[in-house]
């Protein structure tokens, strides 16, 4: 359940984060275990476990999260970056609260993983 995750605890202020952006719909902060020089996380305040749980009522939220991803990437002065959403354990999701990774600051190979 998304309400019991480390991200929910960050949203409740129980665990500090290196915040870089916040609004009424989401929070963005630096990943504590970065895989690139810039590795940011964007989490919605709404407790969705993964993208699989989103529905038509989440269209505006999902669009907002992508726009925030672009905003924080530009804020970090990235001219190229990757935005990743892992959905499910088999895809590499380890925290079951929907989140976007913004990764950049180095060359990123394709295909990933």
Q: List, by residue number, the catalytic residues.
A: 99
Q: What angle do CA 50, 56, 58 make, to 5 degrees?
A: 55
Q: Which three-class secondary structure state does DSSP give residue 99?
A: coil
Residue 80 burial (10 A CB sphere; 0-12, 13-18, 19+): exposed
Q: How many Cα atoms are found within 13 Å in the side-chain-facing hemisphere of 27?
A: 18
């Amino acid at each position: 359940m998304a309400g019991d995750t480390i991200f929910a605890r960050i949203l409740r202020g129980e665990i500090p984060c290196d915040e870089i952006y916040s609004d009424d719909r989401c929070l963005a902060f630096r990943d504590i275990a970065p895989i690139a020089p810039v590795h940011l996380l964007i989490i919605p305040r709404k407790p969705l476990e993964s993208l699989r749980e989103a529905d038509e009522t989440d269209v505006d939220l999902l669009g907002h999260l992508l726009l925030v991803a672009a905003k924080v990437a530009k804020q970090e002065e990235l001219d190229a970056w990757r935005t990743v959403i892992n959905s499910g354990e088999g895809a590499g999701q380890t925290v079951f609260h929907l989140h976007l990774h913004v990764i950049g600051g180095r060359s990123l190979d394709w295909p990933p993983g």
